[in-house]
Amino acid sequence: MTEQELKHLLQSMSLEEKVGQMVQVTGAFLEEDAVITGPAADAGLELSDCKLAGSILGIAGAKRLRKIQERYMEEHPHHIPLLMMADVIHGYRTVFPIPLALGASFHPELVEKAMTMAAAEAASAGLHVTFSPMTDLVRDPRWGRVLESFGESPWLDARMAEAYVRGYQGPDNDLSRPGRLSACDKHFVGYGAPVAGREYNHAELSEHTLREFHLPAKIAAIRAGTACVMPAFQSLNGVPCTASEKIVRNLLRDELGFEGVTISDWSAVGELVAQGAAENTREAAKLAIEAGIDIDMMSVCYARELKGLVESGEVEERLVDEAVWRILTLKNRLGLFEDPFHGAGVQEEKRTVLCEKHRDLARSLVAESVILLKNEDAVLPLDSGSRTAFIGPYVDSTDTCGSWAIFQNREDTVTLRRGVTEGGYGANAVFCHGCDVLENTRVLGFGVEEVFGQSENRDEWIREALQAAKEADRVVMALGEHTLQSGEAASRGDITIPHQQMELLRQISAVNPNVVTVVYSGRPLDLREVSACSKAVLAVFLPGTMGGAGIADVLFGRTSPGGRVSISFPWSVAQVPVYHDDYTTGRPYDPAGAEQKFVSRYLDMPNEPLYSFGYGLTYGIFRYSPVRLSAGSMGQGQILTASVTVKNEGSMAAKETVQLYLRDEKGTTVRPRRELKGVKCLYLQPGEEGEAVFEITEDLLKIWDKHMNFLAEPGWFTIYVGGDSRTENSARFRYEG
Ligand code: BGC
């Protein structure tokens, strides 16, 4: 449709129709046999509220969505197509490792490829918009949604945000092409910093912290062209984001220049009443539209109140028109007026979903993202000639995709046992269940409470596991959190592996010292005891559809583990938040120095996490040359290069994740000890050398100064280049300004 035609369409719509465009309900409401139950009924929505809704969420499938679209368009007064939205967070049916693991790959180019595939699958199944990426910076592993984040570094977070948006929308941002999805960057802003890590709690971020740490990834997503943004549920510095003109209208739109569609989070407009920000749904609707929320997801506020608010003059119709214009523009960009199905179809879906290419990339992304945290006596890689006992509840589990993989089929998941046997590694392997993931616990799932009892086979499982461990040369323990223990509404205060699994690990390690523990989790766990009981520890997060295959490849040395810690694994939850780019203090603690009292430290635990940012072992042995700088100083607009030569002196091919950190030695605001500012992944054969070259631009040096200007301040900088955030391989230069 031309812009002129779109304008005519808007002008010809009734107020009721326009308000309809601003309402989003679950897809099930628009099906022929729709009945309203569950959370929707709780929200008070009725079928009459949904008739003209301009978008739906949460369901997929080409056949199902085509039927809904056809029926809806036929009945709609102007035959305007619906927008189909859903959470496709790390893959549609081919589920890639969770975003936290993708962050650990430190490899945005591969992540972009994965999201291109996710978009192709989801679009073939009828979806137009995905509520992704989640670019909330997280430094508190108690918060369950850490699984959806890329980790603790604003720089890495920003690169992943761009990769996600480019993957979904294509490098040219042409949404009309088949296989493209519109991205929706979320949650704007501060949702990743709930006080005390408790879900939905408010966030307190100073202007400086917000801009320095939390906004860079949001800005990256906007610059990459994200078509939608979802303002956050929670309050930031006392005001719910959904009702904040300062956050949505002033910051997001006016300052950052976002011109696309804003969508509230699930029932967030209605929740303004519970938050004490609005007296009733009418006031909530008024606050939200004034703040700049275009679409109200799953609350009655816009559907019931907006028309009356405009008719009474309390809300200017101009605000409605502006919002509807943005929504219609998105529909038009997607080409829905020409093809309301956007290329979706049963044949296309069959051809695309779970195809070999997608499964292959998912498998290699597992190897790229698992982190080898410990490998004493080179117990890994395993030799398939020796006897290996695989023990634990994750040996046969298909529940390894995470709670946001809502379109997965569990049967598609390759378990660890299947990965080992189908990979050809299983000649001398035995497999035991050992124990359940959870025991004597209740966990709230999606609308249902899951009760985990104590199996009557428990003692038998343990006996069998101990026997297998005694007879084996090596034991692989497959342990971890339950998938319901991470994700939305899954904050934990105790971030350890459930107790009966730990008990099993203690018993097994007492009969066989050669234990390799594979840890499944949606967050960095407290692994102190796991590490003490194991010779090797491999963190695999929730590895997705091809998890078992990719993990087996790493365990048996077909591929070297490629992941690096993208969020610190704390020594204890009491250190949280603990991260690599904390500010310098006037009384720094030097653990290598003599005992010091009046310094910034704990009396009863280390300052440093158990596994710090950027850390991760491989099967290679890498030697770094000193850092070479192209010059000792740089002036305005100039670019320096920093380079290193890296040699694989080991006997196996491996990926080395070369990281560049920057330290601004003096600033008008205190500066982080060091900050990640660059990554190059080198894949080196034994004996091979590679070069990593980084460009240092003025932009990389910019900080928020004491007057809240974003600029590079003249002075000395140290560049560190190495294999993790603690490297001392460094060089200095001066920025002259
Ligand atoms: C989450 C969002 C998600 C939405 C729709 C909410 O509960 O916070 O991230 O996109 O539901 O499923």
Residue 233 Cα: closest atom of ligand 1: 8
Burial string for 166-196 (b: 16+ CB within 10 Å, else e) reads bbbbbeebebeeebbbbbbbbbbbbbbbbee
Residue 607: which pLDDT band, with cuts at 50, 70 and 90?
A: very high
Lowest mean pLDDT across 42-46, 239-243, 337-341: 42-46
Q: What is the DSSP string of 639-656?
A: -EEEEEEEEE-SSS-EEE
526 CB-side CA count, 13 A:
19
Q: How far is the centre of ligand 1, averaged over its atoms, from the C-alpha of 40 (Å)?
A: 14
Model confidence over 712-722: pLDDT tens digits?
999 999 999 99
Closest residue by CA, ligand 1 atom 12: 87
Q: Which helix (H) or strand (E) holds 710?
A: strand 710-711
Q: How far is the centre of ligand 1, averaged over its atoms, from the C-alpha of 131 (Å)?
A: 7
Closest residue by CA, ligand 1 atom 5: 266
Residues with Cβ within 6 A of ligand 1? 57, 87, 131, 186, 265-266, 488
The percent of residues in the chain predicted with pLDDT above 90, rounded, is 94
> Rounded mean pLDDT of 205-220?
98
Contact present, 572 and 525 (Cβ < 8 Å) = no
Contact present, 59 and 67 (Cβ < 8 Å) = no
Q: What is the DSSP string of 305-373?
A: HHHHHHHTTSS-HHHHHHHHHHHHHHHHHTTTTT-TTTT--HHHHHHHTT-HHHHHHHHHHHHHH-EEE
pLDDT at 49: 85
Give the mutation target among 182, 296, 446, 488 for probing the ligand 1 site: most ligand atoms within 8 A of CB.
488
- Residue 315's contacts (CB-CB under 8 Å, 6 or more residues apart) are 285, 286, 289, 290, 306, 309
What is the Cα Rg of the chain in Å? 26
Average pLDDT value over all residues in the chain:
96
The pTM of the full predicted model, rounded to 2 decimals, is 0.98
Closest CA to 216 of 154, 132, 163: 154
Query: What would the two tokens of residue 40 be?
Result: 């929707």
Residue 39: which pLDDT band, with cuts at 50, 70 and 90?
A: low
Is the previous residue joined to 97 through a cis bond, with omega within 30 degrees of 0?
Answer: no
pLDDT at 723 over 90: yes
Residue 187 Cα: closest atom of ligand 1: 9
Whole-angstrom Cα distance, residue 303 to residue 285?
A: 9
Q: How far is the centre of ligand 1, averaged over its atoms, from the C-alpha of 58 (Å)?
A: 10
What are phi and psi for residue 173, nearest 5 degrees?
55, 25
pLDDT at 447 over 80: no
Q: How far is the centre of ligand 1, averaged over its atoms, from the C-alpha of 344 (Å)?
A: 24
> Rounded mean pLDDT of 222-238?
97
Lowest mean pLDDT across 25-34, 93-102, 310-319: 25-34
Closest residue by CA, ligand 1 atom 10: 131
> Higher confidence at residue 35 or residue 375?
375
CB < 8 Å & 24+ apart, contacts of 313-316: 314/286, 315/285, 315/286, 315/289, 315/290
Contact present, 124 and 353 (Cβ < 8 Å) = yes
Burial of residue 674 (CB within 10 Å: 0-12, 13-18, 19+) is buried
Whole-angstrom Cα distance, residue 65 to residue 125?
A: 8
Query: What would the two tokens of residue 707 be?
Result: 């007057």
Where in the sequence numbering do the catalytic residues fall?
Answer: 265
Residue 58 Cα: closest atom of ligand 1: 12
Give the mutation target among 59, 149, 265 for probing the ligand 1 site: most ligand atoms within 8 A of CB.
265
pLDDT at 95 over 90: yes
Q: Is 501 helix (H, G, I), strand (E, B) or coil?
A: helix
Q: How far is the centre of ligand 1, averaged over its atoms, from the C-alpha of 1 (Å)?
A: 31
Percentages of the chain per state (helix, strand, coil), in multiples of 5: 35, 20, 45
Question: Which neighbouring-strand residues pair with 710?
Answer: 704
pLDDT at 324: 98
Handedness of CA 38, 43, 45, 49 (dihedral sign): negative
Sheet strands (E) in 566-674: 622-624, 628-629, 633-634, 640-648, 654-664
Whole-angstrom Cα distance, residue 58 to residue 56?
A: 7
Query: What would the two tokens of residue 704 be?
Result: 């928020």
Model confidence over 121-176: pLDDT tens digits?
999 999 999 999 999 999 999 999 999 999 999 999 999 999 999 999 999 999 99
Residue 591: which pLDDT band, with cuts at 50, 70 and 90?
A: confident
Model confidence over 469-478: pLDDT tens digits?
999 999 999 9
Give the mutation target among 25, 42, 87, 132 for probing the ligand 1 site: most ligand atoms within 8 A of CB.
87
